[in-house]
A and B are shown apart, each in its own frame.
Chain A
Amino acid sequence: MRWMTLILCYNGWLGLCLAMPKYCRQVLQQDAAPPSQHILRIIGWACLMGSLGVSVAVEGWSFGPVAWVGHLAVMGLALVCLLPYVPRIVLALGALGMASVIALWFT
């Protein structure tokens, strides 16, 4: 379940990041406009809020929010460090992560 919090945090940041044209260009390595800023932003926030929900559901109201802030910070830093070095991997990681979360959910 902690894995799910981590992945949701990562994808939340990724969504918000892609919703901004300059980062979107950096990730896609082309001048394409982001698909839909609005939807990406909603997905981003939904993932971040979802990760809070999961964290609280697993850890309870005392440890849950504390762990969540930690996950947010660490995953945010991870994304920011990956962006300039391996921009193409950034998307793949998000997709893989989501797939693993869904797979875990159904097994």
Chain B
Amino acid sequence: MKESFTQSMDWLHTWGGLLFGWVLFTIFLTGTLTVFDKEITFWMQPELHHVDSAHVNIKAVEQQLTRLGSNSDRWWIELPSVRTPAVTIFWQRDDQENFEERWLDPTTGEILQVRDTRGGDFFYRFHYSLHLNRTGVWIVGASAMVMLVALVTGLVIHHRIFKDFFSFRPRATFHRAWLDAHNVTSVLVLPFHFVITFTGLVIFWTIYMPAGIQFLYGGNSDKVFHELEGHLEREPARSPAALASLSDMERQARAHWNGGSTESIEVQHPGDRHAIVNVSRRAADRLALMSDRVTFDGATGELLQVWKGELPVFTTYSVLIGLHYIWFDHDAIRWLYFGMSLAATVMIATGLLLWIIKRRDRHTERPLGFRIVESLNVAVVAGLLVAIAVYFVANRLLPVALPDRADWEMGAFFLVWSLCTTHSVVRAHSQQAWREQLSVAALLFALIPLCNMATIDSHLLVTLPAGNWRLASVDLLCLLAGLLLGWAAWLVNRPVEQVHPSSASLTGAEQA
């Protein structure tokens, strides 16, 4: 081997990072939004903003399900939480494949007319499948593996990791400044990068490492979880029997949980003599994403099983995925995750830019490959930001009664993203493309709170005085994003003063 070990690691970091950087950027940016997915969903359903979830009338909810899902074989009730105020009910349709979904007022059980939107769930799905189903999950998995490789190789090639630990020299040369930004967002947040990437892979172990399941369970991963979670199943008896009181069962279940609250109630074969009711505990106060469960006989209300996941291997797995999902109630950790995840996104973006900056001065005329990378950088980094802003705006501006409204919202997102991609290719100078797309993104983000004021009655002027931070923070973060992107656009707009190499190294030395 002619090259040194560090050189080959550098090569791997550069090219692996470049090829997968674009996908990783979209994964991490949508992942950052997913930290607040339920808050975004709530913001996108203004019809639920005034719902009071202090008292939950399970009896009324049960009546709705009896009425709506009388022929269904399976019901789910999701109870309200701090993050979602309404009761959500689902029931299986006759085709056994799809579910119907409705939002109910927790106190009265009345159906709430909510605009059709995917809300923050869209970002969540995109985060792990890129809207490409199983193929997307594979692409995301491969990217996560490359991310791990990039993290390790990055550590190897970063010679001055301790000497430059706190170095950020924004006034030095372009290359120095961006490299510092890249290093700082990597090194200081390194534990998060490793944990989030690894646990992300763990979530889909059944897809990525199916050998064991293939061998022991004939490839049926549902069977594995049934066994691990000790689910009780039974065939319907095909003879009708009234369902015992769900609210009684829910109360009994809570007695087993030492103050824990109920997340959901599942009914299998409702109205049958063999009905089964599963009451699950909200995993709000633990890292492990693992819900204790109490199972009842639906017809008699008799207690069948109390499950508390004591299997060490399953607990370990649940803690790992819990660290990724953060479905527990801990606002401080949620915000910290948001910050760290944003740092990871910045790390990837700066890495992509560095590839260009390193090579920019070497070429007098720009080869095709170089121009492709330049355009893709604009399309992915700035274009995705524009598309995200459009998704928020579309949620407010599309008519509420529009058929297939949720699809239109997503359509707007993808349409605008493709327009941005075209724009970045058509524009001869990438600097122009950057400036224009960043300006558009800044404007759109700043517009979001205004759209809110024009279309609904729970906007900043109402939510701020009322101290409704769950809604206000979405608007405020949009404003902040608008400001920051505007600043970025202004920075790009400045005439580039070519820093003279000698003076640059001088300022660098002064700063150091």
Contact = CB atoms under 8 A, between A and B. Distances in A.
Contacts of A22: 512
A55 to B, nearest CB: 10
Interface in A50-72: 62-63, 66-67, 69-72
B287 interface: yes
A73 B338 CA distance: 12
Interface in A15-50: 16-17, 20, 22-23, 26
B336 A83 contact: no
Interface in A69-100: 69-74, 76-77, 79-81, 83-85
Contacts of A67: 330, 332-333, 336
Given A26-B511, A63-B287, A67-B333, A73 B168 contact: no
A77 to B, nearest CB: 6
Interface in B455-471: none
A29 to B, nearest CB: 11
Interface in B158-196: 163, 165-171, 184-185, 188-189, 191-192
Nearest to A27: B166
B287 A84 contact: no
B337 interface: yes
Contacts of B189: 73, 77
A84 to B, nearest CB: 6
B382 interface: no
A76 B188 contact: yes
B340 interface: yes
B168 A80 contact: yes
A63 B192 CA distance: 14
A71 B286 contact: no
B512 A70 contact: no
B163 to A, nearest CB: 8
Interface string A1-23: 01000000000010011001011
Nearest to A70: B336
A17 B330 CA distance: 31
Main secondary structure of the interface of A (DSSP, over half): helix
Interface string B183-227: 011001101100000000000000000000000000000000000
B339 interface: yes
A80 B188 contact: yes
Contacts of B287: 62-63, 66
B192 A79 contact: no
B343 A77 contact: yes
Contact of A2 (B170, B171, B185, B332): B332
A20 B337 CA distance: 29
A84 B168 contact: yes
Interface in B404-459: none
Interface string B497-512: 0000000000000011
B333 A70 contact: yes
A66 B333 contact: yes
B357 interface: no
A81 B166 CA distance: 9
Contacts of A72: 188, 191
Nearest to B323: A66
Most buried by A among B286, B337, B511: B511
A80 B184 contact: yes
Contact of B339 (A20, A73, A79): A73
Given A23-B166, A69-B191, A77-B339, 6 more contacts: A16-B165, A70-B192, A72-B191, A74-B339, A76-B188, A81-B168
A-B pairs, 6 with minimum CB distance: A70-B336, A76-B188, A73-B189, A62-B287, A17-B166, A74-B339
Interface of B: 163, 165-171, 184-185, 188-189, 191-192, 286-287, 323, 328, 330, 332-333, 336-337, 339-340, 343, 511-512
